[in-house]
Amino acid sequence: MHSFQDLIALFEKQFSQWHFPGTPASLYEPAGYILGIGGKRIRPVLTLMGNELFDELHPDAFQVGNAVELFHNFTLIHDDIMDKAPLRRGMPTVHTKYNDSTALLAGDVMLIYVYQFLNKVQPRYQQRLTAVFNKAAIEVCEGQQLDMDFEKMDPGQVQYADYVHMIGLKTSVLLAASLQLGAIIGGGSEGNQAHLYEFGKNVGIAFQIQDDYLDAFGDPEKFGKQVGGDILVNKKTFLLLKALEFCNPAQREELRRLLDYTGDDKVGRTLQVFRDCKVDAWAEKEKERYTQLAFDHLEAIAVVSGRKHPLTEVADFLLHRQH
Question: What residues make contact with a second copy under the rule CB under 8 A?
Answer: 24, 26-27, 78, 81-82, 100-102, 104-105, 107-109, 111-113, 115-116, 119, 123, 126-127, 130-131, 134, 137-138, 141-142, 144-146, 148-149
Rounded to a whole number of angstroms, the minimum distance from the CB of residue 73 to a second copy is 13
Rounded to a whole number of angstroms, the minimum distance from the CB of residue 120 to a second copy is 8
Rounded to a whole number of angstroms, the minimum distance from the CB of residue 84 to a second copy is 9
Rounded to a whole number of angstroms, the minimum distance from the CB of residue 74 to a second copy is 8
Residue 141 or 281 with smaller CB distance to a second copy:
141
Rounded to a whole number of angstroms, the minimum distance from the CB of residue 157 to a second copy is 15
Residue 98 or 207 with smaller CB distance to a second copy:
98
Residue 104 or 293 with smaller CB distance to a second copy:
104
Distance of CA 27 to CAs 12, 24, 31, 110, 202, Å?
23, 6, 7, 10, 37
Rounded to a whole number of angstroms, the minimum distance from the CB of residue 114 to a second copy is 9
Helices 59-83 and 123-151: angle between axes, nearest 10 degrees: 20
Q: Quote the CA–CA distance of 302 and 196 in Å, as a whole number.
A: 10
Rounded to a whole number of angstroms, the minimum distance from the CB of residue 236 to a second copy is 16
Rounded to a whole number of angstroms, the minimum distance from the CB of residue 256 to a second copy is 25
Residue 174 or 314 with smaller CB distance to a second copy:
174
Residue 3 or 134 with smaller CB distance to a second copy:
134
Residue 105 or 194 with smaller CB distance to a second copy:
105
Residue 124 or 323 with smaller CB distance to a second copy:
124
126-130-133 Cα angle (round to 5): 140
Residue 131 or 281 with smaller CB distance to a second copy:
131
